[in-house]
């Protein structure tokens, strides 16, 4: 069994959100063959407790935009290792020291890593291309108004 396409897309959305908050060493691991409860672990590191919190908030916000809510969130009070369980994926945001000490990648080394390059987020907020097209047409309308006034 391998991770579902939906799980992979959610993992990519979570990874992109983490990277937007300057997370380090963001990886996604397909654990579906070893765990019946979830398909993918997303791992991300942060340099401080405050950054851990910012990454966690951004991941939750971004997945909420895609109508995915967390089932559970653990470790928030300490801010050193926060686990967010979304059912199909589990996101681990760890302080750099915890990431090094617990070495989850080593624990799950037999599981395949998911390629996070070329993140494509269907059905999400407007893409940059859409926004650029809207801005271009707004500029054209403004130019026309200014020419009419001249």
95: part of which helix (H) or strand (E)? strand 89-95
Q: What is the distance between the alpha carbons of residues 134 and 4, in angstroms, rounded to a whole number?
A: 34
Poorest-confidence range of 22-36, 64-78, 115-129, 134-148? 134-148
Residue carrying the six token digits 């060493």:
25
> Residue 93: which of 127, 120, 70 has the closest Cα?
70
Across the chain, how many H-helices and E-strands are there? 5, 6
Q: What is the mean pLDDT of residues 103-129?
A: 72
56 belongs to a structural domain: yes
140 belongs to a structural domain: no
142: part of which helix (H) or strand (E)? helix 128-149
Does 146 score more than 60 pLDDT? Answer: no
Does 1 score more than 90 pLDDT? Answer: no
Residue carrying the six token digits 């300490």:
78
139 belongs to a structural domain: no
Does 17 score more than 60 pLDDT? Answer: yes
132 belongs to a structural domain: no
How sure is the predictor about 120, in pLDDT bands with cuts at 50, 70 and 90?
low
Q: Is 130 exposed, middle or buried (0-12, 13-18, 19+ CB in 10 A)?
A: exposed
Range of the domain at 58: 5-121
92 belongs to a structural domain: yes
Q: How far is the first Cα of the chain from the last one, in angstroms, to the nearest whole number?
A: 67
DSSP bridge pairs for 114: 28
147 belongs to a structural domain: no
> Residue 55: which of 46, 64, 42 has the closest Cα?
46
Number of domains in the chain: 1
81 belongs to a structural domain: yes
111 belongs to a structural domain: yes
CATH number for the domain spanning 87: value is 3.30.460.10
Q: Give the model confidence (pLDDT) of 27-46 as tens digits.
A: 999 999 999 899 999 999 99
Which residues are within 8 A (CB) of 15 and not within 5 positions of it... i.e. 6 or more apart? Answer: 26, 28, 42, 44, 116, 119
């Amino acid at each position: 069994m391998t991770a579902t396409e939906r799980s992979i897309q959610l993992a990519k959305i979570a990874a992109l959100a983490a990277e937007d908050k300057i997370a380090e060493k963001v990886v996604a691991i397909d654990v579906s063959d070893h765990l019946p409860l979830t398909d993918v672990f997303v791992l991300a590191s942060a340099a401080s407790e405050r950054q851990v919190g910012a990454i966690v908030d951004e991941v939750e916000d971004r997945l909420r935009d895609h109508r995915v809510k967390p089932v559970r969130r653990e470790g928030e009070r300490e801010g050193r290792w926060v686990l967010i369980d979304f059912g199909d994926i589990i996101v681990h945001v760890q302080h750099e020291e915890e990431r090094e000490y617990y070495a989850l990648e080593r624990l799950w080394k037999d599981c395949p890593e998911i390629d996070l390059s070329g993140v494509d987020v269907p059905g999400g907020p407007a893409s940059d291309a859409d926004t650029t097209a809207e801005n271009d047409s707004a500029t054209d309308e403004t130019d026309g108004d200014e020419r009419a006034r001249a």
